[in-house]
Amino acid sequence: MNKVTVLGSLNVDTILRFKRFPKPGETLPLAGKSIAGGGKGANQAIAAARAGAQTTFIGKVGQDQEGDFMVKQLTDSGVDDQYVIHSDEAATGSAFILLDSSSENRILIDGGTNQQVTTDDVKAAQPAIEASDFLIAQFETPIAATIQGFELAHAAKRRTILNPAPATSAVPVDLLALTDLIVPNETETETLTGIHITDEHSMIKAAEKLQAQGIQTIIITVGSKGAFWMRDQDHGFVPAYKVHAVDTTAAGDTFIGALSSVLKTDFSNLAEAVRLANRASSLAVQQLGAQPSIPTKAEIQAAERA
């Protein structure tokens, strides 16, 4: 069983569903409204735990009902919450997900306590980092905290996985140097490299550019098409499973969490781990909501047998 620690965000998601996005100045009725647990970090941790990894979370929530709700989402999925801090500095993070009838989404985020995670908070979780096979982080918490976590992981010879989302071109070179595996989608890849992703040739060029910045293992996810991977000079493309998508909100997070649950620390099974992560992601997009849609190991295995 892999041991995974996730440093990241916890958000309460408000999902607003409608037929189409309104035009400027236009008012449209909602087709539905729901509340669910979210945040890229929490999604990835829950995906890892449900897929079978022993998972610990590092993060921060407010002293509010939303914070209690988010911690319960973690613990109900078997995630260790001992390094989740309850803070009175701000409210628990929140996100508003706009979802149209074609399953296209647009997301607005209020970071709240996610933006209050400090290097000291990460240092306090050093035992969990040192005991893990992988440390995963995103960009919904301060980059300084992520650098601290990755430094602790490398000092303990543990592997690091960076999901550079939300996309930013201002990624510190010292963070890239501490990253063992980077997992951007096509938009984030273009932001990082300046290369527009159109086909496998452009993916190879973008991955080579990331390798030139010190990251030897790259996975580029391209939604319903699948995922490209490169390890040193070896590379390949794993097609996605064809399903009817209802909500793609947590698809990428499910991919990363499931990947971490089966990936070997020497990355020798990278292609097979990507294939299984694609399977988990294909299950997640068939249900509404971020965390409610994340599949369990049993569900992934059942889909594999079907």
Burial (Cβ within 10 Å: 0-12, 13-18, ≥19) of residue 63: middle
Residue 253 is assigned to a ligand binding site: yes
For the chain, how many structural domains are there in total? 1
For residue 18, give both structure tokens: 């409608």
Per-residue pLDDT for 290 more than 90?
no
Count the neighbouring beta carbons within 10 Å of the beta carbon of residue 192.
21
In this predicted structure, what is the pLDDT of residue 204?
97
Residue 2 is assigned to a ligand binding site: no
Nearest 5°: CA angle at 6, between 246 and 131? 140
Count the neighbouring beta carbons within 10 Å of the beta carbon of residue 128.
24
Domain that holds residue 50: 3-305
Q: Is residue 253 among the annotated active site residues?
A: yes
Residue 163 is assigned to a ligand binding site: no
pTM: 0.94
Residue from 204, 23, 28, 20 nearest 103 by CA: 20
C-alpha distances (whole Å) from 84 to each of 16, 61, 71 are 28, 7, 8
Backbone angles phi, psi at 198, to 5 degrees: -125, -30
Residue 78 is assigned to a ligand binding site: no
> Would you place residue 102 in the very low, low, confident or very high pLDDT band (cuts 50, 70, 90)?
confident
Residue 287 is assigned to a ligand binding site: yes
Residue 269 is assigned to a ligand binding site: no
Handedness of CA 48, 227, 230, 171 (dihedral sign): negative
Residue 100 is assigned to a ligand binding site: no
Q: With beta carbons less than 8 A apart as the criterion, state whether 93 and 149 touch.
A: no
Q: How far is CA 109 from the centre of its chain?
A: 15
User: Cα(229)–Cα(220) distance, rounded to whole angstroms?
Assistant: 6
Residue 264 is assigned to a ligand binding site: no
Q: How do residues 67-87 score in pLDDT, each as one tens digit?
A: 999 999 999 999 999 999 999
Catalytic residue among 133, 180, 253, 266: 253
Taking each helix axis from N to C terminus, what angle separates 65-76 and 40-50, rounded to the nearest 10 degrees?
A: 30
In this predicted structure, what is the pLDDT of residue 249?
82
Within 8 A by CB and 6+ apart from 251, the residues are: 223, 281, 284, 285
Per-residue pLDDT for 247 more than 90?
no
User: Cα(277)–Cα(252) distance, rounded to whole angstroms?
Assistant: 9
Q: How far is CA 45 from the centre of its chain?
A: 8
Per-residue pLDDT for 299 more than 90?
yes
What stretches of 103-194 show up as alpha helix (H) in DSSP?
119-124, 126-130, 143-155, 173-177, 186-193
Q: Do the strands 11-17 and 181-182 form a parallel or antiparallel pair, or are they unpaired?
A: unpaired
Which value, to the nearest 10 degrees, does the dihedral of the CA atoms of residues 253, 259, 262, 264 take? Answer: -130
Q: How do residues 151-162 score in pLDDT, each as one tens digit?
A: 999 999 999 999
Handedness of CA 187, 190, 196, 200 (dihedral sign): negative
Give 242's Cβ-side CA count (13 Å radius).
0
Q: How do residues 199-209 score in pLDDT, each as one tens digit?
A: 999 999 999 99
Task: Name the one residue in this structure whose structure tokens are 């647009």.
Answer: 106
Instruction: Supply the CATH number for residue 294's domain.
Output: 3.40.1190.20
Q: Which residue type does 214 have? A: G
Q: How do residues 114-168 score in pLDDT, each as one tens digit?
A: 999 999 999 999 999 999 999 999 999 999 999 999 999 999 999 999 999 999 9
Residue 32 is assigned to a ligand binding site: no
Count the neighbouring beta carbons within 10 Å of the beta carbon of residue 91.
18
Residue 289 is assigned to a ligand binding site: yes
